[in-house]
Structure 1
């Protein structure tokens, strides 16, 4: 499989597009709407909102690390990460909406403030990977684009940018060790790889990703 070209500028654009889709998905939700199940088993939309908002805050920690050189992990521990999602699910619709919107805005602003030199500084992800800060927009793009679909508010993989889908398909296929993919529209192949509902006939079931 030939890896698609994924530039820093593209990743930033995809993160912005995914954020717009995500915020649109929750803009008109009331308390009942936030409490409804998401497309992720066992998670309501409140759990998902808390997860995505906390992800923005956590990536903000890595931006701070890149900007200052001060080691600032995404999360203090896996347990703290899980507790934050569980606590977030108890918040009101208004509180969650404010957190989601505010955290997304703060992260975008912090991206804008990094200099070219700071973007090249290395940070460590929650999975222990050492990466340059230029990877952060791609990490955010994956979160907001895929989870915008998971909200179950009408957004689909077909609404995501083709370049993003190609890059995500390549990345997940590599991580799953797959060299051959089923025939079908790119959005459906990407959804299948991500362990989400799809329309591909005969494709074997895959476990969840992200």
Structure 2
């Protein structure tokens, strides 16, 4: 993918939350147990965490994604979710702007630099940024849905999520508007639907159109 895809997703996100009111901020997101304030806080915190991943990588250093690991990450989301809507939006805009500025500093020779996130590289980190923005835009439960996921993003997400296919399952996704996608071996499960609906199902998100076929129980998100 390219940085332009991340910038496009970021622009959609900031436009989507512009003018967010208190009732909407407190409302339920698509994610169980999370309000929209939770999702916005998570995206802002992720953006700052990844800004730091980039900055340290460009100095040939590694740093934890979140100080204190997953427990601290979760606590920070809970602590920030109830802030006033205007504060949530301001914090998100500031964090995303900083993240994009950090990615702009990555040169062609830098993409192989290591980062702590998944013990990977900046090249994998920009993909992770794309996933976080695109998926959580629809998780807000506002006007955006997985139907807006670009075909290139669906192809990337399906491949990233391959570990979700259980052992002994040959999963075949047959989109009405895209190429057939297969994963695993064993008992065949053929699912049909639109590309975005099938990708949303595989990502554990509600699809806006039907997915038909014998769906297996998927493994956890990798």
Gaps of 5+ in 2: 174-190
> Contact 1:194 / 1:208 at 8 angstroms: preserved in 2?
no
User: Which whole-Å CA distance do the structure 1 matches of 2:220 and 2:196 have between them?
Assistant: 16
Aligned partner of 1:141 in structure 2 is: 130
Q: Distance in 2 between matches of 1:33 and 1:183?
A: 34
CA distance in 2, matches of 1:32, 1:61: 32
Q: Provide the rounded CA distance (Å) in 1 between the counterparts of 2:97 and 2:214.
A: 39
Question: Larger RCO: Structure 1 or Structure 2 (Cα < 8 Å, ≥ 6 residues apart)?
Answer: 1
Matches of 1:23 and 1:179, distance apart in 2: 39
Q: Is the Cα–Cα contact under 8 Å of residues 64 and 72 in structure 1 kept in the other structure? A: no
The TM-score, its normalising length taken from structure 2, stands at 0.82
Give me the whole-angstrom Cα distance separating, in 2, the residues matched to 1:179 and 1:154: 34
- What TM-score, normalized to structure 1? 0.87
Greater helix percent: which structure? Answer: 1
Asked if 1:36 corresponds to 2:27, the answer is yes
Post-superposition CA distance 1:133-158 (Å, at most 9, x none) = 11221101101101111111111112
Q: Is the 1:195–1:208 Cα contact (8 Å) retained in structure 2?
A: no
Question: Which residue pairs with 1:123 in the alignment?
Answer: 115
Select which of 181, 191, 200 maps to 1:191: 200
Alignment check: 8 A CA contact 1:169 1:189 kept: no
Contact between 2:62 and 2:114, CA under 8 Å: does it hold in 1? no
How far, CA to CA, are the matches of 1:207 and 1:17 in structure 2? 30
| Partners of 1:124 and 1:131 within 8 A in 2 | yes
Greater shift in the superposed pair: 186-195 or 67-76: 67-76
Give the alignment's Cα RMSD to 1 decimal. 1.8
Unaligned runs of 5+ in 1: 1-6
Could you say which structure has the higher strand fraction? 2
How many angstroms does 1:59 deviate by?
0.7
In 2: Cα distance, 1:52 partner to 1:40 partner: 13
